[in-house]
Amino acid sequence: MYNVDMKKVTTEELINYKILPFNIYSEFGEKLLSAGEVLTPGKLLQLRHVENLFRDDDETKNNNNRANKNQEQQTADDILKSLSNNDTRIVEKFDMNPNQTLKSNTVVDEVNIANYKGPINKTSKIDPQNQIKIKSFYHDTINGLKIRSIDESSNLFLNIRDKILQDIIYRASGKVMYSSQIKLIGEYQKCHSLNVAILAGFVARKMDLGEAAISDMVLAGLLHDIGKYLINENILNKQNISNQEQKIIQSHTRLGYKFLKEKMKMPENICLVALEHHENNDGSGYPMNKSGDLISKESQIIHICNYFDNLSFNRTNTPVKNTKDAVRALLELGTKYFMPEALYTFIHMFSYNDTMNFEDMVL
């Protein structure tokens, strides 16, 4: 148990520190963080899942650390601002109104699901209500892209990213055996980018890319197809398209890059994913026929997650019934399409003996 000389501390108090001036312990005396550590968003996120936190109460040590207080300590507003500039912030609420102050409870829980008629994945490790809420929230965010301010839209995407990180990538990961257990099902436009973001976060974590990189992968997945929302819906939804219409659809990569870079002011690595996620390892993709290491690592990961989810929605030329079929299709394309590290990480990330048909997952 914790030492009686320790004091209880909350994550809300910890957000005031950039560098910890004291040690952090669990109620069982396990040291979770040490004095002098930089308090990153990922560390804060992990601490939020510990029921009771305690800190040293050595005032002498604290006074010594306070000598550099102006450099080491920030207000909550300052730290959120600085983290936002590096695009690694934690937004504690999942909120339809980006202008409200942060708080521990999340407005997503107030999303009305009473009249929801769409399907949910009955095999998922994501709570059914959360499946509905995150799809509804994402759909509202996308539909409002042309009527909301750019700042509002950017903040909503960041909120979705952080909800995925908190409730799926970190909280549900230990429960997941099959990739089908994290798949959102229903309307493709509501689910695809969410699925890509979730899968990409798992791949990045499996590759030990670090907290900031995992966060970036989730955001890149959410935004990889944003250029499609700048194209006429009638063309996107056509069954039989002409060569000219195919070129228009393929232009979503360049449109997305330009929109993210010039309008949303996203970091270059996020923008590049929108541009490169259809580039193949052998140079046969589009829009620039890049190959191998000329394709960014983020784009390589999103490419395979994007293709896999398209397989599961039967939006490729290869019909599949279940995850096992989809993995087999990925292996048949192999390193012609996908970089070896991304491919082999993906196929070994979950058990690939997942034979439940996609249509049987629907509740």
State pLDDT tens for residues 132-182.
Answer: 889 988 998 998 888 889 988 998 899 899 889 988 998 887 889 999 999
In a domain, 1, yes or no: no
Looking at the structure, tell me whether residues 133 and 77 fall in a common domain: no
Looking at the structure, tell me whether residues 236 and 313 fall in a common domain: yes
Q: Higher-confidence residue: 263 or 67?
A: 263
Looking at the structure, tell me whether residues 64 and 108 fall in a common domain: no
Is the per-residue pLDDT at 61 higher than 80?
no
- The whole domain housing 33 covers 7-81
* Per-residue pLDDT at 114: 62
Residue that terminates a domain, selected from 56, 81, 106 = 81
Label residue 70 by pLDDT band (50, 70, 90): very low
* Per-residue pLDDT at 43: 73
Label residue 25 by pLDDT band (50, 70, 90): confident
In CATH, what number is assigned to the domain containing residue 311?
Answer: 1.10.3210.10
Is the distance from CB of 120 to CB of 179 less than 8 angstroms?
Answer: no
pTM: 0.71
In a domain, 276, yes or no: yes
Residue that terminates a domain, selected from 81, 102, 126 = 81
- Can you tell me the mean pLDDT for 181-200? 96
Label residue 63 by pLDDT band (50, 70, 90): very low
Residue that terminates a domain, selected from 27, 47, 81 = 81
* Per-residue pLDDT at 41: 63
Looking at the structure, tell me whether residues 71 and 99 fall in a common domain: no
- What are the tens digits of pLDDT across the range 310-332? 999 999 999 999 999 999 999 99
Looking at the structure, tell me whether residues 173 and 276 fall in a common domain: yes
- Can you tell me the mean pLDDT for 238-264? 93
Number of domains in the chain: 2
Cα–Cα distances (Å) from 282 to 101, 177, 329, in that order, read 48, 32, 17
Is the per-residue pLDDT at 22 higher than 70?
yes
Looking at the structure, tell me whether residues 218 and 268 fall in a common domain: yes
